[in-house]
Amino acid sequence: MSPENTDFLYPFIDSAEHDADSLLTDLAESASAKATENSRLCRSCLETLGNDLEQVAGMIADRFRVGACLYTFGNGGSATDAASTAALFSRSPGHTGLAARCLVADQAVLTAIGNDVGYELTFSRQLIAFAQPRDIAIGYSTSGNSANVVLAFEEAKRRGLLTVGLAGYEGGHMAASDAVDHCFVVPSHSVHRIQEAQAALSYLLWESVHTKLASSRAPASAGRWQMVVGQASTEPEEAR
Amino acid sequence: MRTDRLLTSDSQLGHDSGGPEAADLAACSFAMARRFTSGGTLWCAAPTWPWHAQHVAVEFVHPVIVGTPALPAVMVPGDHLWESLRPIALAGDILLVVSRSDDPAVVGLRQRAQAWGLMTIWIGAGPRPEPGSADYVLWVDDEVLSAYGGRFVLLYHLLWELTHVCLEHPGLLTPEQELCEGETCITCSDEGRLAEVVAVQADRRAQVRTPAGIETVDTTLLETVRRNDLVLVHAGTAVTLVQGSTR
């Protein structure tokens, strides 16, 4: 129709494109490259953070022994990672359940706090209501800067909780904050790759906590842990 | 620390990793982009792991990369999957499920979805579903990895990333063609089509739902017909009961 062909100026609206095969080849190559980067990043994180992760697992196990509850939180995709971690600790098949809850789970509480006092207080306000000094807080933010996550760590720290952060990029406010006892930073600028590596770190943290708990006897104090020990004796051997 | 089970190979895709092939992800993303372009909605369900359904939905609705278009994706409760979807899902939509293959909530996934005209994507780990259980099956063989959700997260992240690459090629995203070539036309005549019973009439006929809309069919060949039954329709007649109405 037009005497000049200007399609090359607008590659994204090239309606004359017909060859899906070359696109599909590009897509598959792109998927493979990203999946390889996923493996590389997870491996490198475990190499550099593995020892710290073991240490933190020991501290978390110590707190579970005296009846701690684990609270997890985050926003968006990180909220779902927080939910995943809480479920892993509390109800993973074949393993003893440990007290763990995700602070994103209740829409009524979230929207009430967000509406009445501000979104940045959504998690800290809940910790004021629930948290005991023996408890544990694990927060997720790929930027490390989410205001409600940072404020939750500050509230948790004031109350004596063990605070563990999972961040990306250079760690943001979370890495710099005194309120975060241990901040695991996934050194990547891709939100997706960061979340995937955080999922691996969370899983290995959970696995390590169970290893630590299995290798020690519970103290005589009352509380959740005694209940947990009672359950553990009926668990199959593989759960130990 | 035991990393060997999480990182079985240098990539998380392809035969060596026990995961899906990159080419399957590519084909799936292309089909998703086609449906989004035609106005389709992505429905996401994960009966045992609702956070995965939420994560998929938030990826598409609120993209992390500024300037990327927001696409309609919705988390649906997995324990009431079919009841939730029935009044709202439309032909041309997509249903993505993250679950084990034996999850009772998703039994008959593809057939029910086919009657409604939904494309199905099934992500999971452990024993594989029967071949053909969904239009796209993206599976991780190692069952341990269903507790470690990271592999699933990678798979749906990749689906999101690749779908947006496809959207940059609108010329390739023409609607799927309905071919009508004489005697072999699926829509008009020959082949059995899945349909869901919407209303049973007194004259041994019933109204059924298919991707094309609501039509009236003869049910004299079936002993009993109930609302929500899935039936096979051939030339205006319901010939077989495929799935009971319990869903």
B26 close to A (CB below 8 A): yes
Closest CA to A28 of B81, B225, B158, B222: B158
The β-bridge relationship of strands B94-98 and B136-140 is unpaired
Neighbouring-strand partners of residue B157: none
| Tens of pLDDT, residues B127-170 | 999 999 999 999 998 877 767 888 999 999 999 999 999 999 99
Q: Assess contact for A180 and A154: CB atoms under 8 A.
A: no
Helix, strand, or coil (residue B213): strand
Is residue B7 pLDDT above 80, yes or no?
A: no
Q: What is the pLDDT of residue A6?
A: 56
Alpha helices, H only, chain B: 22-37, 50-61, 81-85, 109-116, 150-166
Q: Assess contact for B27 and B80: CB atoms under 8 A.
A: no
Percent of chain A with pLDDT over 90: 78
| Tens of pLDDT, residues B11-64 | 778 777 778 889 999 999 999 999 999 999 999 999 999 999 999 999 999 998
* Identity of the residue numbered A100: A
Q: Residue A50: inside a domain, yes or no?
A: yes
Residue B35 CB neighbour total at 10 angstroms:
20
Q: From the DSSP assignment, how many helices (H) and strands (E) are in chain B?
A: 5, 10
pLDDT band at A16 (very low <50, low <70, confident <90, very high): low
CATH number, domain of A86, equals: 3.40.50.10490
Residue B131 CB neighbour total at 10 angstroms:
6
pLDDT band at A232 (very low <50, low <70, confident <90, very high): very low
Is residue A197 pLDDT above 60, yes or no?
A: yes
Contact across the interface for A43 and B7, Cβ inside 8 Å: yes
Contact across the interface for A39 and B49, Cβ inside 8 Å: no
Percent of chain B with pLDDT over 90: 69
Contact across the interface for B3 and A43, Cβ inside 8 Å: yes
Q: Show Cβ contacts of residue B188 under 8 Å, excluding neighbours closer than 6 positions.
A: B180
Residue B46 backbone dihedrals phi, psi, to 5 degrees? -145, 85
Residue B53 backbone dihedrals phi, psi, to 5 degrees? -65, -40
Residue B188 backbone dihedrals phi, psi, to 5 degrees? -90, -35
CA dist., res. A207 & res. A210, Å (int): 5
A7 close to B (CB below 8 A): no
If one counts the domains in chain A, the total is: 1
Is residue A229 pLDDT above 50, yes or no?
A: no
Taking the alpha carbons at both ends of chain A, their separation in whole angstroms is: 74
Q: What is the pLDDT of residue A27?
A: 96
Contact across the interface for B25 and A38, Cβ inside 8 Å: no
Q: Residue A24: inside a domain, yes or no?
A: no
Is residue A11 pLDDT above 70, yes or no?
A: no
Percent of chain A with pLDDT over 70: 82
Contact across the interface for B169 and A35, Cβ inside 8 Å: no
Q: What is the pLDDT of residue A204?
A: 93
Contact across the interface for A23 and B1, Cβ inside 8 Å: no
pLDDT band at B191 (very low <50, low <70, confident <90, very high): confident
Please state the pTM of the whole predicted model: 0.89
CATH topology of domain B15-172: Rossmann fold (3.40.50)
ipTM of the complex model: 0.89
**B contact test, residue of A29, A38, A102 with most B CBs within 10 A:** A38
Residues of A in contact with B147 (CB under 8 A): 88, 92-93, 203
pLDDT band at A62 (very low <50, low <70, confident <90, very high): very high
CA dist., res. A40 & res. A46, Å (int): 10
Chain centroid offset of residue B112 CA = 9
Q: What is the pLDDT of residue B185?
A: 54
| Tens of pLDDT, residues A139-150 | 999 999 999 999
Percent of chain B with pLDDT over 70: 88
* Annotated domain spans of chain B: 15-172, 183-241
Contacts 24+ apart (CB under 8 A), A101-107: A101/A69, A101/A70, A101/A71, A101/A72, A101/A130, A102/A71, A102/A72, A102/A73, A103/A71, A103/A72, A103/A73, A103/A127, A103/A152, A104/A73, A104/A74, A104/A79
B159 close to A (CB below 8 A): no
Q: Residue A131: inside a domain, yes or no?
A: yes
DSSP A86-140: HHHHHH-TTS----EEETTS-HHHHHHHHHHT-GGGTTHHHHHHH--TT-EEEEE
Q: What is the pLDDT of residue B80?
A: 87
Contact across the interface for B7 and A93, Cβ inside 8 Å: no
B64 close to A (CB below 8 A): yes
- CATH code, B183-241: 2.40.50.140
Is residue A70 pLDDT above 50, yes or no?
A: yes
B70 close to A (CB below 8 A): no
Q: What is the pLDDT of residue A219?
A: 47
Is residue A37 pLDDT above 80, yes or no?
A: yes
Alpha carbon distances (Å) from A226 to A61, A63, A229: 13, 13, 5
Encoded tokens for B85: 């979807």
CA dist., res. A184 & res. A100, Å (int): 20
* Identity of the residue numbered B33: A
Range(s) of the domain holding residue A167: 42-228
CA dist., res. B191 & res. B50, Å (int): 37
| Tens of pLDDT, residues B194-244 | 999 999 999 999 999 999 999 999 999 999 999 999 999 999 999 999 987
Q: What is the pLDDT of residue B51?
A: 96
Q: What is the pLDDT of residue A7?
A: 53
Sign of the CA dihedral A92, A45, B2, A215?
negative
Encoded tokens for B90: 């439309």
Q: Assess contact for A152 and A127: CB atoms under 8 A.
A: yes
Closest CA to B89 of B63, B115, B54, B62: B115
Q: Residue A204: inside a domain, yes or no?
A: yes
CA distance B49 to chain A (A): 8
Is residue A14 pLDDT above 50, yes or no?
A: no
Q: Show Cβ contacts of residue A140 under 8 Å, excluding neighbours closer than 6 positions.
A: A72, A73, A74, A78, A79, A81, A82, A149, A165, A166, A167, A198
Is residue B79 pLDDT above 90, yes or no?
A: no
What mean pLDDT do residues A12-20 have?
A: 62
Residues of A in contact with B171 (CB under 8 A): 14-18
Residues 49-78 of A with CB under 8 A from B: 50, 53-54, 76-77
What mean pLDDT do residues A125-144 have?
A: 98
CA dist., res. A97 & res. A113, Å (int): 29
Q: What is the pLDDT of residue A112?
A: 98
Q: Residue A118: inside a domain, yes or no?
A: yes
What mean pLDDT do residues A189-205 have?
A: 95
Q: Residue A4: inside a domain, yes or no?
A: no
Q: Which residue of B has its CA nearest to A88?
A: B147
- Alpha-carbon dihedral angle through residues A190, A194, A195, A199, given to the nearest 10 degrees: 160
Q: Residue A9: inside a domain, yes or no?
A: no
Q: What is the pLDDT of residue A238?
A: 37
CA distance B34 to chain A (A): 12
